[in-house]
Structure 1
Amino acid sequence: MRRIPLIPTLVVGMAVAAMIALGLWQLLDRLPAKEAHIARLAKNPSLPAVAFPRFPDDSLLFRRTSAFCLEPVDIRRAGAGSAGYRLIATCRTGAEGPGFQVQLGTTRDPLGKVDWRGGKVSGWIGHAPDSRPLIATLFDRRPQDMLLIADTPAAGLTANTPPNVAAVPNNHLAYAVQWFLFAGIAAIIYAIALRRRAR
């Protein structure tokens, strides 16, 4: 029987150990943290309203909020799944400050427009559409911008669907299982290769 090759075995062993470690990290760290975050978010709709945040803060998602749009500087469309398109206004709040975005409502018309001049808006805090590719978010750790989802639609638009905590993804258990499967498959393939080599 041939001697087991040292370097390939070390490389495969380290790769398998790294995949197991990643699976344990997803299972023991990321999953409980995400479950705790979702539990906090589930309570937010029943908490008192807050001023719309000036900067991203995911702990405020689904909280009731309000803001005053001094002037909409842009109104754009974004996909809304089965609801068609969301019309999102970028608002100026004064000479200073970052402004904010408000989802005015939805429409099924791909060319739909709305005549909205601003004013006080109330609703819920959500995430603004993120144009970054999914792979880019792995390296670009900037927080996603916040969005005020209006509880009363602008004239001619359909009302927004209230935010639902059930829509918050929690895939960490699936990620953990995937890493464990990758580790198991790598170990099995290498064991088969060693057996064939021995023959």
Structure 2
Amino acid sequence: MKRIPIVSTIIVALCIGAMIALGIWQLERKAWKEALLERYAANIHKSEIAFPRFPDQSVLFRPASGFCLEPVSFDLEGAGKAGYRVIAHCRTGAEGPGMLVQLGTTRDPAYRPHWRGGEVHGFISHAPTHRSLIGEMLSPAPQPLLLVANTPPDGLSPNGTPELSSIPNNHFSYAVQWFLFAAIALVIYILALRRRRPTA
């Protein structure tokens, strides 16, 4: 009978251990995300605050207000069945970052906003970043926020209400995948070892 290859076994064991550790980490993330979603659900019913100058994930979905001195540019972002979200990049007059305002939605891909700014009331949501899910997980920068206006300017359809379903919570399925990968790797390695045995 051939000896079990030590180096290969150590490498496989380390890989399986890493997969199991990632699965456990995803279960911990699941508990963290569920607590976060509870906070977001409570935020919807809290009193209005000033839109934060810097990203603060703890106030997501909370009612807020801000004043746009001047929109310096506009973006159209996909909004599914609603068409496109119209997002204004606002100058606030204060030092530091300005403010993003989601004015409303339109089905016209060539829409040109004529909004000139002013006071905005709405709720806080995540701004689009175009980063992948892995990029979001690995990026040290917090996800930027925007103010979703309650009342759209003329020519735009109203924004939707806060939706907790927009916050992904797939950690349990990710954990199951990592555990399955670990089990598959173990089975494949055991089968490879059995094939090394000399035939009679």
TM-score range relative to shorter protein = over 0.9
Regions of 4+ moved over 2 Å: 131-140
- Residue matched to 1:125: 124
- Residue matched to 1:42: 41
- What is the alpha-carbon distance in structure 1 between the residues aligned to residue 190 and residue 146 of structure 2? 52
- Residue matched to 2:26: 26
- What is the alpha-carbon distance in structure 2 between the residues aligned to residue 156 and residue 119 of structure 1? 17
Calculate percent identity across the aligned residue pairs: 57
- Residue matched to 2:2: 2
- Residue 26 of structure 1 and its aligned partner are, at CA, apart by 1.3
- What is the alpha-carbon distance in structure 2 between the residues aligned to residue 177 and residue 133 of structure 1? 21
Residue deviations 1:143-170 (CA, integer Å, cap 9, x gap)? 1111000010111000000121122110
TM-score normalised by the chain length of structure 1: 0.95
Structure 2, gaps ≥5 residues long: none
Residue deviations 1:162-193 (CA, integer Å, cap 9, x gap)? 12112211011011101100000000000110
Give the partner amino acid of 1:149: V
- What is the alpha-carbon distance in structure 2 between the residues aligned to residue 148 and residue 95 of structure 1? 17
- 2:200 equivalent to 1:196: no
- Residue matched to 1:157: 156
- Residue 130 of structure 1 and its aligned partner are, at CA, apart by 0.4
TM-score normalised by the chain length of structure 2: 0.95
- What is the alpha-carbon distance in structure 1 between the residues aligned to residue 165 and residue 131 of structure 2? 23
- What is the alpha-carbon distance in structure 2 between the residues aligned to residue 72 and residue 175 of structure 1? 41
Contact 1:78 1:88 in 2 (8 A): yes
Identify if the C-alpha distance between structure 1 residues 51 and 192 changes in structure 2 by more than 3 Å, giving closer, same or farther.
Answer: same
Superposed counterparts of 1:131-170, under 5 Å:
131-170=130-169
- What is the alpha-carbon distance in structure 2 between the residues aligned to residue 114 and residue 94 of structure 1? 21
Q: How many residues are matched?
A: 198
- What is the alpha-carbon distance in structure 1 between the residues aligned to residue 115 and residue 142 of structure 2? 28
Give the partner amino acid of 2:83: G
Matched residue SS, 1:194: helix
Superposed counterparts of 1:71-150, under 5 Å:
71-94=70-93, 96-150=95-149
